[in-house]
Amino acid sequence: MSRDRSLFELARRLEPLTPAVLHILMALADGERHGYGIMQAVAAQSDNSVRMGPGTLYGSIKRMLAAGLIEESDERVDVNHGDERRRYYRLTGQGQQTFKAEIQRLNRIMNLPAAKHALSGEGPQ
Amino acid sequence: MTFLLALYAFLLRAYPLEFRRSYEREMSLAFKDLLQCEARNSGAAGMIGLALRVFPDLVACIIREQIGTQEAKQLAKWGLVAMSIVAIQTMCYFSTIAYSSIDVLLGCCLLIGAADPKHLWRWSIVLAASHPILRLSRICLQVESYNVEFFYEFAFIIPAVIFSYFGLATRAFIVRYSAPDAGGMGRKSRFALLCVGCIAVGFSIGSWEIGPLSAACSMEYLAIFSLVLGALAPKPLIPAMLLGFGVPAFEVLMKSTHHQPLKDGNAVLFGWIPLLCVALALAASSARKSLLRMSDSVMVITP
Interstrand relation of A70-77 and A85-91 (parallel, antiparallel or unpaired): antiparallel
Point out which residues pair with B179 in neighbouring strands. Answer: B184
Residue of B nearest to A11 (CA): B182
Alpha-carbon distance B96 to nearest alpha carbon in chain A (angstroms): 48
One pLDDT digit (tens) per residue for chain B, 303 residues: 788 888 888 888 888 888 888 898 999 988 898 888 888 888 888 888 888 888 888 888 887 777 666 666 666 667 767 777 776 666 666 555 445 667 777 777 877 777 766 777 888 888 888 878 888 887 888 777 777 777 777 888 888 888 888 777 777 666 655 444 444 555 656 666 666 666 666 655 554 444 334 444 566 667 777 777 777 776 778 878 877 777 677 667 766 776 666 655 555 566 677 788 888 888 877 777 766 555 444 333 332
CA angle, B237 then B241 then B246, to 5°: 150
Point out which residues pair with B132 in neighbouring strands. Answer: none
Whole-number pLDDT of residue A89: 93
**A12, B181: Cβ pair inside 8 Å?**
yes
pLDDT digits (tens, 9 = 90+) for A52-111: 889 889 988 998 888 888 998 877 777 777 777 889 999 988 888 888 888 888 888 888
Point out which residues pair with A77 in neighbouring strands. Answer: A85
In contact, B123 and B117? CB cutoff 8 Å: yes
Chain A residues lying within 8 Å of B303, measured CB to CB: 49
**B302, A62: Cβ pair inside 8 Å?**
no
**A62, B58: Cβ pair inside 8 Å?**
no
Who's near A67: CB < 8 A, 6+ residues apart? Answer: A10, A13, A14, A94
The continuous run of DSSP H or E covering A34 comes out as strand A33-34
Model-level ipTM above the cut of 0.85:
no
How confident is the prediction for chain A on average, in pLDDT? Answer: 80
In contact, B31 and B8? CB cutoff 8 Å: yes
**B58, A53: Cβ pair inside 8 Å?**
yes
Chain A residues lying within 8 Å of B60, measured CB to CB: 55
Whole-number pLDDT of residue A90: 92
Chain A residues lying within 8 Å of B297, measured CB to CB: 18-19
Q: Please check whether residue B296 touches A, CB under 8 A.
A: yes
Whole-number pLDDT of residue A15: 52
**A54, B58: Cβ pair inside 8 Å?**
yes
Q: In chain B, which among 160-189 make CB contacts under 8 A with chain A? A: 179, 181-182
